[in-house]
Amino acid sequence: MRRIELVEPGGLENLFCIEQDTPSPGEGEVLVRWHASSLNYHDYLVASGAWPVADGRCPLSDGAGEIVAMGAGVSQWQLGDRVMALFFPQWLEGSASAETMADFAGDTVDGYATEFSCLSADSVSRIPRGYSFAEAATLPCAGLTAWRALIEECHFEAGDSVLIQGTGNVSLFALLFAKAMGGETYCTSSSDAKLEQIKTLGADHLLNYQSNPNWGTEIHRASNGGVDHVLDVGGSSTLKESLEAAKVAGHIALIGGLGGFDAELSLFQVFIKQLRLSGMAVGNLVMQEQMVDFIDAHGLKPIIAREFELANLADAFRYQEAGDHLGKIVVTY
User: What integer is the mean pLDDT of 64-69?
Assistant: 98
User: What's the length of the chain?
Assistant: 333
Q: Which CATH architecture has domain 2-138+302-332?
A: Alpha-Beta Complex (3.90)
The CATH code of domain 143-279 reads 3.40.50.720
**What pLDDT, on a 0 to 100 scale, did the predictor assign at position 268?**
86
The secondary structure of 62-77 as a DSSP string is --EEEEEEE-TT--S-
In the chain, CATH 3.90.180.10 sits at 2-138+302-332
**What pLDDT, on a 0 to 100 scale, did the predictor assign at position 236?**
84
Is the distance from CB of 165 to CB of 188 less than 8 angstroms? yes
| Euclidean distance between CA atoms 8 and 139, whole angstroms | 29
Q: In what order do the strands lie in the sheet with 205-208?
A: 205-208, 184-189, 161-164, 227-232, 246-254, 276-279
Statement: residue 244 has pLDDT above 80: yes
Indicate the residue type of 185.
T
Per-residue confidence at 157, pLDDT binned at 50, 70, 90? very high
| Euclidean distance between CA atoms 295 and 9, whole angstroms | 40
Query: What average pLDDT does the structure give for the chain?
Result: 96
**What pLDDT, on a 0 to 100 scale, did the predictor assign at position 259?**
80
| Euclidean distance between CA atoms 145 and 148, whole angstroms | 5
| Euclidean distance between CA atoms 257 and 99, whole angstroms | 24
Q: Which residues share a beta bridge with 125?
A: 84
Statement: residue 263 has pLDDT above 80: no
pLDDT in tens, 25-43: 999 999 999 999 999 999 9
**What pLDDT, on a 0 to 100 scale, did the predictor assign at position 257?**
79
Percent of the chain exceeding pLDDT 90 equals: 94
User: What integer is the mean pLDDT of 155-172?
Assistant: 96
Per-residue confidence at 238, pLDDT binned at 50, 70, 90? very high
Q: Is the dihedral of CA 92, 302, 310, 54 positive or negative?
A: negative
In the chain, CATH 3.40.50.720 sits at 143-279
pLDDT in tens, 306-328: 999 999 999 999 999 998 899 99
Whole-number Cα distances in Å, 64 to 20, 38, 73, 173: 20, 9, 23, 18
Per-residue confidence at 235, pLDDT binned at 50, 70, 90? confident
Q: Which residues share a beta bridge with 84?
A: 64, 125
User: What integer is the mean pLDDT of 140-149?
Assistant: 98
